[in-house]
Chains A and B, each alone.
Chain A
């Protein structure tokens, strides 16, 4: 099956920017997503980008997509302790059931 890869951990200081990276293998991916999972809770959609875009900004969040390198990143500006969570990258194929494939998640730890 198609793969979505992420690093497992990221530690940043409060107020700094965080950059979480993701690579995927499916060249036919249409939508790419970032989900946030807080402790003890389900996943919540944070933002998404369509494959014909290379950047999307939403308040403190910036998503960058390099389709040639199949690389997706999520930048969180002015990271706060409330941003501590697991962030999952996911991609939707262009055919079949369209059900997303998820990465293993990156644990973001924000310390004062």
Chain B
């Protein structure tokens, strides 16, 4: 199993540009999550999904959109990039609720918006 994979690893965007961060897991996990990690800060939850077709907002959803059309994929869309979105983005998955099962994290995407 590859686990949780994310692409790209690095990206530089200009203000106002759009992009999609890709996340795929091959463990047949029901739950998937997007977090952002700002320097010296903990992870903040952006969006999560409890299964295909179901998504919900986390703590910091503004400026982002997600979709979950398959169990494996959970892309994160930035429509109008802003400097405040400069961060490292982590995708994670868990078999079931994090109350019951371990979260597995991808290696991250480092995004800079200038």
Contacts and interface: CB of A to CB of B under 8 A. Distances in A.
A98 B98 contact: yes
A4 B58 contact: no
Contacts of A99: 33, 45, 48, 58, 98
Interface residues of B, number: 22
A98 B99 contact: yes
Contact of B107 (A1, A42, A45, A98): A42
Interface stretch (B11-19, B36-44, B61-69, B72-80): B36-44
A42 B99 CA distance: 20
Interface of A: 1, 4, 8, 30-31, 40-45, 88, 92, 97-105
The majority secondary structure among interface residues of chain A is loop
Interface in B53-103: 56, 58-59, 90, 92, 97-99, 102-103
Nearest to B42: A102
Contact of A41 (B43, B48, B107): B107
Given A42-B90, A43-B43, A103-B42, A97 B56 contact: yes
Interface in B23-38: 33
